[in-house]
Amino acid sequence: MNRHPFTAGASSEKPRVLVAMSGGVDSSVAAALLLEAGYDAIGVHLQLWDHGAANAEREGGRCCSLVDANDASRVCDRLGIPYYVIDASQEFRTHVVGNFIDEYAKSRTPNPCAECNSHIKFDFLFRKADELGCELVATGHYARVLHDLEGGPARLLKAQEPAKDQSYFLYGLTQEALKRTLFPLGGMSKDETRAHAVRLGFANAAKPDSMEICFIGKEGYASFIERHAPDRLLPQGQIVTLDGQVVGEHPGLHHYTIGQRKGLRITAKDPGQYFVVGFDRAKNQLVIGPESKLYRADLQADAMNWIQDLPESVEGVEEECSARIRSRHDEAPARVRRLPGGKAIVRFLDPQRAITPGQAAVFYRGNEVIGGGIIAEEGLPQ
């Protein structure tokens, strides 16, 4: 594990690090490795969402249940480090769940995990870290931070193991946060992490990874949104082809995302060749078309966060990069231009499939994240 430059200081005091612990195996091992590396680790479990009755029982893939809080607590007991549960449910409700619903209500497809990392795991957590006298914050994410020994800008890198890389979700971290952030698992594979968990005797060593959106249960995201914002959703409407032909009815635009093929009840011939290609919100119509209409070569992003500022002289100059437009997208070569007002324009060398407003676009140079933002609205395909 790379040492943080803070540990290089002459101070005999161990640097105190706040470890965000979900109760999963990754953050548990992260805490243990920090402790072994000589940090004064304290475990903090953020209570983000109340799952109600389902709370007390183990249900795979969802976090924030009592079971998870209890797993985190047991790991800390085993490590002999202090452990606290901090309620962040109000912040989570506003910044993550509220945004999630707003975005779907606007027929966009949000990425709540990236929002959560920016607003909760870092903004909120750093405030707590300051109050608790923690110089550093650590999580079990698979990504790496390179700290500058001279105090210069920190760099955000992909994880060593491409299969587990989570840097896409971390593009929103500011310099202020990165300089104080540790990702102890950045150089490790999941197998190595599990091996550590077994070595450490953690009860959660075999716990499955969380895969789904943590605040959405079995009901699925569409009925979650209907339950929380019934008055902000458009009613059912028509499904039309790009040439305006009505071919079916949709139960509400929030059920769909760009590029979706499943769940289209249409009366066209050869229905399997149709995909969602856009939304006509003025007419409350879901627009479908052939797969070829999903490809575009450019996008605009806003709410940009650049990991490092460029000198003003080069603002507006195109930078070569590779861009990722959703978490499971193979990043594609592109040129990105930084614009004022937190915007960016991206041109791909080759057109990309299903560029989806609301998703994060993250830009890399090699293994390094240079920045990211939210994909802005696009018109309908021509």
Partner 1 sequence: MSSRSAVYLDFNAAAPLHPRVKEAIAAFLETSEFPGNPSSTHASGRKAKAILGEARERVAASWKVRDADGLLFASSGSEANQLAVLAGRGRAPKNGKDVWVLSPVEHDSTRQLRADWEKAGGQALEMKVDRNGVLSFTDEIEEKIREGRVALVSLVWANNETGVLTDLEPIAKACSASGVPLHVDGAQAWGKIPINLSTLPVDYFSASGHKIGALSGTGVLWKRTGMPFHDPILPGKQEKGRRGGTENVLGALSLGIAASHSDPAAFEARCFPLRESFEAKLKDGFPEVRLHGEESRRIANTSCFHFPGFTGASLQIALDLEGFSVSSGSACSSGALEPSHVLTAMGVPPEEALASIRVSIGTSTRAEELDSFLAALLRLKVRAQKIPGRQAPRDSVQRSPV
Q: Using CA of residue 187, residue 210, residue 357, residue 349, what is the dihedral sign? A: positive
Report d(CA 71, CA 53) in Å as an integer. Answer: 18
Asked if 347 interacts with partner 1 (CB under 8 A), we say: no
Give the binding range for partner 1 (CB under 8 A) out of 120-128, 163-171, 201-209, 316-324: 120-128
Rule CB under 8 A: say whether 130 interacts with partner 1.
Answer: yes
Active-site position among 64, 76, 113, 116: 116
Told to check if 281 binds partner 1 by CB under 8 A, we report: no
The continuous run of DSSP H or E covering 107 comes out as none
Q: Residues 28, 20: contact at Cβ < 8 Å?
A: no
Phi then psi dihedrals of residue 371, to 5 deg: 165, 180
CA 368 to chain centre: 17
Q: Counting contacts by CB under 8 A, is residue 123 touching partner 1?
A: yes
CB of 114 to partner 1, least distance (A): 11
Tokens of 301: 């992003």
Nearer to partner 1, 82 or 208 (CB): 82
By CB under 8 A, which span of 39-47, 269-277, 278-286, 314-322 interacts with partner 1?
A: 39-47
Binding partner 1 (rule: CB under 8 A), the pick from 38, 61, 133, 208 is 133
Q: Is 29 in the site for partner 1 (CB under 8 A)?
A: no
Strand partners, 137: 18, 181
Taking CA atoms, 371 is separated from 11, 43, 309, 349, in Å, by 34, 29, 10, 19
Q: Which residue is it, tokens 């050869």?
A: 270
Binding segment for partner 1 (CB under 8 A), chosen from 41-49, 237-245, 285-293, 364-372, is 41-49
Q: How far apart are CA 246 and CA 241, in angstroms?
A: 7
CA distance 276 to 288: 4
Q: What is the DSSP letter of 377?
A: P
Residue from 63, 113, 134, 214 carrying the catalytic annotation: 214
Site pattern 72..91 for partner 1 (x: CB under 8 A)? -x------xxx-xxxx----
- Least Cβ distance, residue 90 to partner 1 (angstroms): 9
Q: Cβ 289 to partner 1, closest distance in Å?
A: 27
Residue whose pair of structure tokens reads 């950045």 in the numeric block:
186
Residue 201 CB, nearest distance to partner 1 (Å)? 17
Report the alpha-carbon angle 89-159-177, nearest 5. 45
Asked if residues 103 and 232 have their Cβ atoms less than 8 Å apart, the reply is no
Asked if 235 contacts 284 with a C-beta cutoff of 8 angstroms, the reply is: yes
* Sheet architecture: strand order including 40-47: 83-87, 40-47, 16-20, 136-138, 181-182
For partner 1, the binding residue among 1, 2, 37, 47 (CB under 8 A) is 47
The size of the interface with partner 1 (CB under 8 A), counted in residues, is 47
Report the nearest approach of partner 1 to the CB of residue 342 (Å).
Answer: 6
Q: Interaction with partner 1 in 295-324: which residues (CB under 8 A)? A: 302-303, 305
> Could you give the string, one character per residue 88-107, with x where binding to partner 1 holds by CB under 8 A and - elsewhere?
-----xxx-xxx-xxx----
Amino acid identity for residue 281 in this structure? R
C-alpha R_g of the chain: 22
For position 132 contacting partner 1 by CB under 8 A, the verdict is yes
- Among residues 344 and 370, whose Cβ is nearest to partner 1? 344
Q: Is 214 a catalytic residue?
A: yes
Give contact residues for partner 1 (rule: CB under 8 A). 14, 16, 40, 42, 45, 47, 55-56, 66, 69, 73, 80-82, 84-87, 93-95, 97-99, 101-103, 118-119, 123, 126-128, 130-133, 172, 174, 176, 228-229, 302-303, 305, 342, 374
Q: Which residues are catalytic?
A: 116, 214
